[in-house]
């Protein structure tokens, strides 16, 4: 049974939110699309500013994965609008997605983003929601640590590939230390199936089998996210 705070595998809670794009009903606003809702402690803070710039620079990559972005903090719409204006003027990057204004903390409380009773700022969280409105992943980061946006892209891609092929994704994919860029075959349901698996797939044992399912284009896309995350920018923005 769903609890007060939504969990992985549950439907994203229905709510109407106020944003700098107007009122939006979630999750219906993104019907047929995946979306990433990410909360930040406050506008006009250094770590959050770096994150919003990074999300904005990768917005087209998210769109290619049929995924939209929406931010959230306890700040007002006026603050969001001014902050976006500042980022575009001072950093040279336009923020192309809405931000939820939640000054009373109603949305944050519903999503479990105020982790202490005395908290006045939302934690740095990420909800990855699929095209059916189901929460597929939830991430939490401390105030002092900014998110690695390319890893969030890799997660969206990997979850979509898991749905597409009915396979699990190994650690560090597509650079797994045991099976490389292959995908893991789910466990067998019967004894007979277990005995047949080593004839059908590459296996270490009947419970650990894999196959080459993802296309070269899908693997290359995951590679590009990893490469960008490891690459030092040629020039710093806003200089």
Q: Which residues are catalytic?
A: 48
3-state secondary structure of 213: coil
**Which of 135, 165, 160, 131 has its CA nearest to residue 222?**
160
Q: Residue 37 pairs with which residues in a beta bridge?
A: 70, 127
DSSP string, 74-142: SS-HHHHHHHHHHHHHHT-----S-EEE-TT-HHHHHTT---STT--S--EEEEEE-TTSBEEEEEEE-
CA–CA gap between residue 187 and residue 104 (Å, rounded): 46
Cis peptide before 175 (omega within 30 of 0): no
- Please provide the size of the chain in residues: 239
CA–CA gap between residue 20 and residue 29 (Å, rounded): 14
């Amino acid at each position: 049974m769903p609890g007060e705070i939504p969990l992985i595998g549950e439907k994203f809670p229905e709510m109407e939110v106020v944003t700098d794009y107007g009122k939006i009903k979630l999750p219906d606003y993104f019907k047929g699309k995946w979306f990433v809702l990410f909360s930040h402690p406050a506008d006009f803070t250094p770590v959050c500013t770096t994150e919003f710039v990074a999300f904005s620079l990768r917005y087209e990559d998210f769109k290619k994965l049929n995924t939209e972005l929406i931010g959230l903090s306890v700040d007002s719409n006026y603050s969001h609008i001014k902050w976006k204006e500042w980022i575009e003027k001072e950093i040279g990057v336009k923020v192309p997605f809405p931000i939820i204004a939640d000054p009373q903390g109603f949305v944050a409380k519903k999503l479990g983003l105020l982790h202490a009773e005395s908290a006045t700022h939302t934690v740095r969280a990420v909800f990855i929601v699929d095209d059916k409105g189901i929460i597929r992943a939830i991430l939490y980061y401390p105030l002092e640590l900014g998110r690695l946006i390319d890893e969030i892209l890799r997660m969206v891609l990997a979850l979509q590939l898991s749905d597409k092929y009915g396979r699990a994704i190994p650690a560090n994919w597509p650079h797994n230390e045991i099976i490389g860029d292959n995908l893991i075959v789910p466990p067998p349901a019967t004894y007979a199936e277990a005995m047949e698996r080593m004839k059908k797939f590459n296996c270490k044992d009947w419970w650990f089998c894999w196959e080459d399912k993802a296309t070269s284009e899908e693997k290359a896309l995951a590679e590009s996210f990893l490469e960008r995350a490891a690459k030092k920018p040629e020039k710093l923005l806003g200089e």
